Amino acid sequence: MSRYFTDRLARNVVFICATVSFVILLAIAVFIFKEGLPAFKEIGFINFIFGMVWRPGQEQYGIFTMIVGSIAVTAGSLILAIPLGIACAILLADVAPFKLRRFLRPLVELLVGIPSVVYGLVGLVLLVPAVREIGGNGFSIATASIVLMAMVLPTIISISEDSIRAVPMSYKEGALAMGATHWQTIWRVLLPAARSGIGTSIVLGMGRAVGETMAMIMVIGNAIILPKTPLDPARTLTGNIAVEINYASGLHENALFATGIVLFIFIVILNSIAVILFKRGTHVQTVT
């Protein structure tokens, strides 16, 4: 009787917590759309999304340059983070000795807990002067991509490592028994078998990259221009909201909330892709 009561209580607590979380997220979404939709109506969807000029004082609101900046920084960080993250995951899952894994894994997990402002500070002090030696003033997409890479890496490493470890040992044993080398087994067997989980880690890392704010404000330059090279400054969608929301009012404030709607849609799409990949990976493992 006591066990039945405990199980029922736990189930009800989980249900209540999940419902409250869903209601909170729904309320946030409703509030953002309520405040942002008037901007689409006043400015025009096409003019808002594809407009090249953002001048609140002149009632000009176009976020295309910031969309390009966000995509460029996200793409740059993933180009750097994906090979490094997968390599680290392989090291932790199947290459490194047990004692080394025990030492490295907590370090990777520790990176998740570092505040974004600390990453931005390190980028501001170390990376900006280094990039300035290459070209530009140092505040650029390249600098922001490197900082964002460090922030995305723990997500890619952790989930990819778990996915590689979830591959049945019989896969590896079968490949080795057929004469494959250790590296051939990793490249031809383990990675393809774990591709769904690795893909999920990349998508979740992309979601983290799209939503990052503080570190980007500190190192990207916040210039509302269309970047042409990685050494050019830019402004992201999240940075635009954070920089201007304190003094915005009227249509300007609505335009910032409309920017939040664009971000919201981006993140929903990315999370949906992650869920689809996760379910597909789970289905494959169940069938095997």
What's the pLDDT tens digit per position in 73-99? Answer: 988 999 999 999 999 999 888 888 888
Record the tokens describing residue 222, joined without a space. Answer: 């916040």
For the segment 148-167, what is each residue's pLDDT rounded down to a tens digit? 999 999 989 988 998 898 88
B/e letters for 126-143, b = 16+ CB within 10 Å, e = fewer, are ebbeebeeeebebbbbbb
**d(C-alpha 273, C-alpha 265), whole Å:** 12
Residue tagged 């890496």 (tokens)? 153
Q: Average of pLDDT values for 46-67? A: 89
**d(C-alpha 93, C-alpha 227), whole Å:** 39
Residue 284 has pLDDT above 60, yes or no: no
**d(C-alpha 123, C-alpha 211), whole Å:** 18
For the segment 110-127, what is each residue's pLDDT rounded down to a tens digit? 887 888 889 999 999 999
Residues 6+ apart with CB under 8 A from 62: 47, 48, 49, 50, 51, 52, 53, 54
Query: What confidence score (pLDDT) does residue 2 get?
Result: 67
Type of residue found at 171: Y
Type of residue found at 1: M
Residues 6+ apart with CB under 8 A from 148: 73, 74, 76, 77, 81, 209, 212, 215, 216
Residue 276 has pLDDT above 80, yes or no: no
Query: What confidence score (pLDDT) does residue 269 get?
Result: 78
Residue 141 has pLDDT above 90, yes or no: yes
60: phi then psi, degrees, rounded to nearest 5? -115, 120
Query: What confidence score (pLDDT) does residue 138 get?
Result: 86
112 by DSSP, 3-state: which? helix
Record the tokens describing residue 22, joined without a space. Answer: 């869903």
Residue 280 has pLDDT above 60, yes or no: no
Residue 33 has pLDDT above 50, yes or no: yes
Q: Which helix (H) or strand (E) holds 55?
A: strand 54-55
Q: pTM for the complete prediction?
A: 0.82
